[in-house]
Amino acid sequence: MKRPLQTLHLTLGLMLAASLASAQTELTITKTAGPGLDKPTLVSLSGFSGEVASVIQFDLYVQGFKFVSPEEAQYLISGSHAGNVQGRVTDRLVKQPLFSRSYSGASLRRQAHAFTDDVVQAIRPGSQGIAQTRIACKVESGANTEIYVADFDGFGATSITGGDKTLAKSPAWVPGRSALLYTSYKRGRPEIFRHDTSTGSRAVVAGYGGSNLMPAPSPDGSRVAMVLSKSGMVDLYVANADGSNLKQLTRSTEYESSPCWSPDGNWICFATQLKGGGRVLAKVSPAGGDVQRIRVAGVSRPSEPDWSPDGKWIAFTAQMGSFQLCVVPAEGGAATALSGGDDPSWAPNSRTVIFTRHGGGRQTLSLLDVPTKQVKDVPRISGSNNSQPAWAR
C-alpha cells in the first residue's frame, strides 16, 4: 500500500517542478536604466603614461567609462606612445580583440583624442565620440567678458572677442559651421553678432532698439531664434540666418528666455514666465501658432533648456534653493535632477552635457555623463569665471 502513495508523491513533485519551471521560463527581468541609473563601462588602461594617459582617462570618464584593474574590467585598453600613439582594445570576457591602430600626423594629445573616439565607437557601436569636438563659453576678464573657443576639455583656448574690451555673452554655435552667434555690447547696446571663427569676420544679425539676446541657430543653420525687447516686451522671435524676415512668435506679458531648437527643426523650446507664477518650459513652432507648455514634474522654476541632438531629452536648470541641472523627456514628464549647476549644453553624442558649476565663489565649466552621473571639471580656460558653455555640433 505504500508504493502507490510514494508514486503519488513523486507524481505531484514532478508536476510541481514542471509548474515552477514553466513559471521561471515566463519570468521577465526588467533592467532599471535611465538618467543617472546606468552603471559605467569598466575598462583598464596600460602602456600609456603622462599626458597621453591623462587625455584617455579624461575623454572616456566623461562618456561613462570607469577605470579598474584588468581583473575587474570587461575591456582592456593598452598601447604605447613612443613617437606616436599606438593603441588596441580587447574584450576580456570573450577574449576577442576589437581593434589595433596607429596614429600620426598631429600632436600626441590629438592622437590620443582620436584613439579615444575609436575606443568609444568600438565598444559602443553606433555611438559618436566627442574627444575632437569644440566648445565656446563666456569668460570674465576684469570688468569685461569675452567669448572663448576651446577643445571640449578646455585646451587650446582662444579669445575671439578679446579686442572689443566690452561685454559679450550667450555664445551659440551654428551647427556644422565654424561660426558662432553671441550678444555683444561692442556698439554700446546688446546686439547679436554672427562671428566666423576661421576668418574673424563679423556681421550684426539683430541690432534693434532695446535688447537683442540669446541667439539660437536652427539645426540646419538657415534660421535663428532670439529674444528681443523691440516691442517694449521681452518676446521670442525667429529670422533668417542673416537677420532678415523677422517674425514674432510670442506676445508675453512677462518675458521669454533661452530658446533652443528640436533637432528636426519643428519646434523652439524656451522658458517663459506665467502670469503671477513661476517659470515653465514651453515650445512653439517656428512658423508661429499656439504656445504649448512642456510638463516638468518634480522640480521647480525650470529655465535654460537645451534639446538633445537625438531628440529624446531636454536638459535644463531648476531653481530649488540652488541651481540644479536636470533632464526631462522631450515630450514632458518626470524630471531627474543630476547635479548642482546651470547653463547645460548637450554634446553631439546626446549623453554628455557641459554646464556651469558654482563653488568656492567661482564659476567653473564641468562635464556630466547623464546615464551614470559621472562629473569632471574642465580645466580653467581663462579669467576668474567661466560660464555659459555651448557645445559645437
Could you please report the per-residue DSSP string of 279-296? EEEEEE-TT----EEEPE
- For 248-268, write each residue's pLDDT tens digit: 999 977 789 999 999 999 999
Output the pLDDT for position 290: 95
Output the pLDDT for position 21: 41
- For 304-323, write each residue's pLDDT tens digit: 999 999 999 999 999 988 99
Please report, for residues 55, 152, 380, the alpha-carbon distance to residue 108 in angstroms, rounded to integers and kept in the order given: 10, 16, 21
In this structure, which amino acid lies at residue 388? Q
Output the pLDDT for position 30: 41
Given a contact cutoff of 8 angstroms between Cβ atoms, the answer to whether 226 and 192 are in contact is yes
Check pLDDT > 60 for residue 20. no
**Section 28-52 average pLDDT:** 85
- For 51-77, write each residue's pLDDT tens digit: 999 999 999 999 999 999 999 999 999
Contacts of 21 (CB under 8 A, 6+ apart): none
- From CA 192, how far away is CA 24, in angstroms rounded? 63
Residue 9: Cβ-neighbour burial (10 angstroms; 0-12, 13-18, 19+)? exposed
Given a contact cutoff of 8 angstroms between Cβ atoms, the answer to whether 313 and 328 are in contact is yes
Output the pLDDT for position 278: 84
Q: Which residues of 44-80 are buried (b: 16+ CB within 10 A; e: fewer)?
A: bbeebeeebbebbbbbbbbbbbebeeeeebebbbbbb
- From CA 376, how far away is CA 141, in angstroms rounded? 24
Residue 11 pLDDT class (50, 70, 90 cuts): very low
Output the pLDDT for position 32: 52
Of 85 and 274, the structure prediction assigns the larger pLDDT to: 85
Given a contact cutoff of 8 angstroms between Cβ atoms, the answer to whether 203 and 194 are in contact is yes
3-state secondary structure 308-349: CCCCCEEEEEEEECEEEEEEEECCCEECEEEEECEEEEECCC
Check pLDDT > 60 for residue 2. no
SS percent in the chain: helix, strand, coil, step 5: 15, 45, 40
Check pLDDT > 70 for residue 177. yes
The interaxial angle of helices 50-61 and 108-123, nearest 10 deg, is 40
Cell of 238: 525667429
Q: Which residues of 342-369 are buried (b: 16+ CB within 10 A; e: fewer)?
A: bbbbbbbbbbbbbbbbbeeeebbbbbbb
Cell of 217: 541657430
Output the pLDDT for position 141: 86
- Compute and round to an integer the Cα radius of gyration of the chain: 26
- From CA 79, how far away is CA 57, in angstroms rounded? 14
Residue 149: Cβ-neighbour burial (10 angstroms; 0-12, 13-18, 19+)? buried
Residue 87 CB neighbours (<10 A): 26
Structural domains in the chain plus CATH codes: 41-123 (3.40.50.11830), 134-391 (2.120.10.30)
- For 182-209, write each residue's pLDDT tens digit: 999 999 999 999 999 999 999 999 999 9
Question: Considering Cα of 247, then 249, then 341, then 167, what sign does the dihedral take?
Answer: positive
Could you please report the per-residue DSSP string of 26-69? T--PPPP-STTTPPPEEEEEES--HHHHHHHHHHHHTTTEEE--
- From CA 114, how far away is CA 81, in angstroms rounded? 13
Cell of 106: 598631429
Can you point out the beta strands (E) in 58-201?
65-67, 75-80, 86-91, 96-102, 134-141, 144-151, 158-159, 168-173, 179-184, 191-196
Cell of 361: 565663489
Output the pLDDT for position 18: 42
- From CA 334, how far away is CA 321, in angstroms rounded? 19
pTM for this model (two decimals): 0.90
Q: What is the mean pLDDT of the chain?
A: 91
30-39, 126-135, 231-240, 291-300, range with the lowest pLDDT: 30-39
Q: How far apart are the first and last CA of the chain?
A: 82
Instruction: Express as a percent the part of the chain with pLDDT over 70.
Output: 91
